[in-house]
Chain A
Amino acid sequence: MGGYARRAIDGGLSTGIRGQRSVKNAGEGKLKNEHTFRAKIRTLSDGAATGLAVLSTILVVAPLVAIFVYLVYKGASSLSWAFFSQIPKPVGEVGGGMANAILGSAILLAVGSLIGVPVGISGGIFLAEFGRGTKLAHAVRFTADVLNGVPSIVMGIAVYSLIVVPQGHFSAFSGGVALGIMMIPTVCRTTEEMLLMVPNAVREAALALGVPNWRSVLAITVKTASPGIITGCMLAFARVAGETAPLIFTAFGNVGWNSRLNEPISALPLQIYVYALSPYDDWHRLAWAGSLVLIVLIVLAVSLVRYVTSRGVLKGAS
């Protein structure tokens, strides 16, 4: 067999030049044909795969773009300084804003994060570092996954019967607890995944220096995985920021200002829900504006995640 032809076969994705040269050797035309046929198939399937990937990308991006464009179209005209500075006006009066709902969302998310982030991260650390392989860890992991699948309205009802009923009134606190519980499984599982990505060599290095295990976990392993853990927290945050259902039975909503934890409080998704279901055109417009503000805030939060992870120190770990 001619050297050229053999090289052409070995080379795999070969060009026509090598194929043509192999014609010099009589009796190898068949081989050449087979080769160019395979190359064509390869080019075709490469093109098809690339096309599918591009199509999928468009399918992923399109809904978000469509929603965003529609919200800007419907809501941008109702955005004004009043929207961010005033509270809702009584029915019949034009104008008013959602300032109390924005503040309410901020308070509810703060309470939720204060509960969800520490509990979730601690749980993740337990799963990845201390409880590895134990029955308790399996139980915790299973519980977290189930909790992740519990419908948010059920979470609202659960917190309603655990906090609102005994206290006798709706409150910002109970709403924050509902959001916090919803954050726990996401934070917990991403923390676990991120910690498991830290190479074992890093753990061994710390232990071999005579560092106690708990200290090595906190100062070395968690620190190394921190960009990923932060991403998990932000994702959980963005997810509960748009929740309405768990707040209906807990935070309840409030047409006026409130910043106290033991009183009902408004929230953006809740306000949007109420306004969208109302029969008044003015409220519909405010609901659109509120949706736009909510999605912009979530996009900002996710962008923050991207920013944090792109500067990630974890890259150096692998």
Chain B
Amino acid sequence: MGVGIEVTTLNAWYGTNHALQDINLNIPANQVTALIGPSGCGKSTFVRCLNRMHETDPIARVTGTVLIGDLDIYKDAKPVEIRRRVGMVFQRPNPFPTMSIYDNVAAGLKLNGYSSRHVLDEIVERSLKNSALWDEVKDDLKKKSGASLSGGQQQRLCIARALAVDPEVLLMDEPASALDPVSTAKIEDLIFQLKAQYTIVIVTHNMQQAARVAEKTGFFLNGRMVEFDSTDKIFTNPSDKRTEDYITGRFG
């Protein structure tokens, strides 16, 4: 089951660049929350703060509180533990190039020390079914490399890989921006199904996509969150002039 996320006065820097300024936000459990905004507005940085990936950059710095469920991720836990509970899917599909499809999905478990064949087989199958890829790859699980799949399949493979470690939250950083419309539609269907089990946060440049998949939408601009509300409200009757200008295409 997914859990809610509570963000309080989150600030983030890259070197001297103050990338996120005083973000306060409550992300509801088992819903899809979309983050929109022009390039460089901080939405990717924001999701990377939710699984402590931001700090893998040596010049990056974060202050503030992020509660995932009851867990204060910057106080009570190590980054690796957080990242097992908060899965992430990146903009460009990034399967491990030297691994088979099976090993790609099992990687998170294997590298964290799980080795029971039987359990792994079961988890790999379930994850691939959950990411709607099972039927396309079930015959060459161990024969084909993850890199030999098409872009859309690779992205679903990456989703399966993230699901295999059984996270509570799934972060998606523009998961469909490198894909064609058919693959995009598949990913969106998938997001719709996955929210029953996971809390999903999706960063997107595509406003129609946000409108299609998300219950809640947040609008970011220049490192600040301008507005956060139900998707309907944001797209039909935003309270902030800047949101309206962005939605209607007047800038960005």
Contacts and interface: CB of A to CB of B under 8 A. Distances in A.
Interface of A: 132-133, 199, 201-202, 204-212, 215-216, 219-220, 223-224, 226, 313-314, 316-317
Contact of B96 (A132, A133, A210, A220): A220
Given A206-B111, A317-B147, 14 more contacts: A199-B94, A202-B94, A205-B90, A208-B88, A208-B90, A209-B108, A209-B112, A209-B161, A209-B162, A210-B80, A210-B81, A211-B111, A220-B111, A226-B98
Interface of B: 51, 53, 56, 58, 80-85, 87-88, 90, 92, 94-98, 107-108, 111-112, 145, 147-148, 158, 161-162, 165
Contacts of B56: 204, 207
Contact of A212 (B51, B80, B161): B80
A316 B154 CA distance: 13
Contacts of A202: 94, 96-97
A207 B53 contact: yes
7 contacts: A133-B58, A204-B53, A206-B96, A210-B82, A210-B84, A210-B165, A316-B148
A201 B94 contact: yes
B242 to A, nearest CB: 31
A207 B96 contact: no
Contact of B97 (A132, A208, A313): A313
Contacts of A132: 58
Contact of A208 (B51, B96, B98, B112): B51
Contact of B111 (A199, A219, A316): A219
Contacts of B82: 210
Contacts of A133: 58
Nearest to A211: B111
Contacts of A216: 111
Given A201-B90, A224-B97, A208 B111 contact: no
A314 B81 CA distance: 30
Given A201-B90, A216-B111, A316-B147, A209 B96 contact: no
A314 B158 CA distance: 19
Given A209-B108, A210-B84, A317-B147, A204 B97 contact: no
Nearest to B89: A208
Contacts of A199: 94
B145 A209 contact: no
Contact of A204 (B58, B94, B162): B94
A199 B91 CA distance: 14
Given A209-B84, A209-B162, A317 B108 contact: no
Contacts of A212: 80
A212 B112 CA distance: 8
B94 A209 contact: no
Given A208-B87, A211-B111, A215-B111, A313 B80 contact: no
A226 B87 CA distance: 28
A221 B83 CA distance: 19
Nearest to A223: B98
B80 to A, nearest CB: 5
Contacts of B162: 208-209
Contacts of A215: 111
B98 A224 contact: yes
Contacts of B88: 208
B93 to A, nearest CB: 9
Contacts of B147: 316-317
A132 B85 CA distance: 28
Contacts of B98: 223-224, 226, 313, 316-317
Given A133-B58, A316-B148, A207 B94 contact: no
B68 to A, nearest CB: 13
A210 B108 contact: yes
A24 B83 CA distance: 70
A208 B90 CA distance: 10
Contacts of B161: 205, 209
A135 B96 CA distance: 31
A226 B98 CA distance: 10
B210 to A, nearest CB: 22
A92 to B, nearest CB: 59
B56 to A, nearest CB: 6
Contact of A210 (B58, B83, B148): B83
A206 B111 CA distance: 9
B80 A204 contact: no
A219 B87 CA distance: 20
A314 B107 contact: no
Nearest to B148: A316
A257 B158 CA distance: 58
Contacts of B148: 316
